[in-house]
Amino acid sequence: MEALAETGINPESTSDALSVNIAGWLCEVSGKIVGFSMGDKDTGEMLVVAVLPEYESRGIGKRLIGLIQEWLFSNGHTEIWLLENPDPRTRAYGFYRKLGWVPAGFHESGHQILKLSTRRS
């Protein structure tokens, strides 16, 4: 939560954004939130996909990312994007690439930009 707060993401800013241009999905297992995803329809950015480590490899992340992708494409985007840590040792590095996301440069923050197009082959 502290790391998110440093970037301006907190419960209040998230609530405000969800009421305007951001949508999100939760995954619950036995009443426990085990994953969530969010995207920004104005920019076409996939903001976050997160799954608790003990619930990985169950298809939850893939389903959550699929929901955001569908929603962003349905809002008129032909290409969507996200920022990721460029370290290939991170869990997300291979996950996104396996789903068709491709590197498209670097953001000023040092994070790598990945893009996904509706024109995938």
What average pLDDT does range 70-78 have in this prediction?
Answer: 93
Rounded-to-integer distance, Cα 61 and Cα 22, Å? 18
User: Is residue 42 scored above 70 in pLDDT?
Assistant: yes
Counting the structural domains of the chain, the total is 1
> Quick one: pLDDT at residue 87?
85
Domain containing 91 equals 2-117
Which percentage of the chain shows pLDDT scores above 90? 36
Rounded mean pLDDT of 47-60?
A: 89
Nearest to 24 by CA among 68, 57, 55, 89: 68
Burial class (CB in 10 A: 0-12, 13-18, 19+), 49: buried
Q: Does 98 score more than 70 pLDDT?
A: yes
Residue 32 CB partners (closer than 8 Å, separation 6+): none
Provide the terminal-to-terminal Cα distance of the chain, rounded to the nearest Å. 38
The label of the residue with tokens 């920022």 reads 83
* Mean of pLDDT values over 81-106: 88
pLDDT digits (tens, 9 = 90+) for 2-31: 666 666 677 777 666 666 788 888 899 998
CA distance 96 to 73: 17
CATH number of the structural domain spanning residue 36 = 3.40.630.30
Two tokens at 64? 């959550």
- Tokens 């959550």 belong to 64
Mean of pLDDT over the chain: 85
